[in-house]
Amino acid sequence: MTTPTSSLHDAGVSIWLDDLSRTRISSGNLAELIESRNVTGVTTNPTIFANAITDKNDTSYDAQVTELAATGATAEEAVFAATTQDVAAALDVFRPVWEASGHVDGRVSIEVSPDLAHDTDGTVAQAKELWAKVDRPNLLVKIPATKAGLPAIARQSARASASTSR
């Protein structure tokens, strides 16, 4: 059966979901959307994760947040831990898509903090930290295209090119 999303996919369109949560991953909903709706990637941002973590109907973050609070983690550290864990898990779900597409699709994005949009060195440092923490080849780190972000994009692009040419 041909569906609107399968027709788009067959025409070469990469369909990305603009929503991610731990429940979407653990319930199998993300895998189902890949299979039935031809979803080939997910984009995330701080607002998406804030909504997921603070959703009173979703308790999937409660234990981790409680544990991190008990260790004295700051709110920023807790959000970093939760978001990188979710992105890594989603990337594992998308890994077969990434492999089957020749490493074109099957990506999940995470962005550096918007607070760093005007700090080239801070942006580069956080991009490296996100890459190291998530540790999946199909990760896409989003960097703001600001005046300070452009050199950060160039540095990270050069670093990525150098690591894939080895």
Mean pLDDT of the chain, nearest integer: 92
Q: Helix 75-100 and helix 62-70: axis angle, to 10°?
A: 130
Position 92 scores a pLDDT of: 98
- Which of the residues are catalytic? 142
- pLDDT tier at 166 (50, 70, 90 boundaries)? very low
- Going by the DSSP 8-state scheme, the letter that residue 149 receives in this structure is H
pTM of the model: 0.91
List, as one string, the DSSP characters of 75-110: HHHHHHHHHHHHHHHHHHHHHHHHHHTTSSS-EEEE
Q: Within 13 Å, how many C-alpha atoms sit on residue 72's CB side? A: 0
- Tell me if residue 18 falls in helix, strand or coil: coil
- Is the predicted pLDDT of residue 55 greater than 50, yes or no? yes
Angstrom distance (rounded) from CA 69 to CA 36? 38
Render pLDDT for 33-50 as a digit per residue (tens, 0 to 9). 999 999 999 999 888 888
The yes-or-no verdict on residue 157 having pLDDT over 50 is yes
pLDDT bucket at 164, cuts 50 / 70 / 90: low
Section 104-116 average pLDDT: 95
Residues sharing a CB contact under 8 Å with residue 149, sequence separation 6 or more, in sequence order: 117, 120, 123, 143
Confidence of residue 70 (pLDDT cuts 50, 70, 90): very high
Question: Could you give the CA distance from residue 123 to residue 116 in angstroms, rounded to a whole number?
Answer: 6
Given pLDDT bands bounded at 50, 70 and 90, which one contains residue 129? very high
Task: Give the CA distances from residue 48 to residues 53, 55, 127, in Å, rounded to whole numbers and listed in that order.
Answer: 9, 11, 19
Mean pLDDT of 43-72: 90
Considering only residues 75 and 43, tell me which one the structure prediction assigns the higher pLDDT. Answer: 43
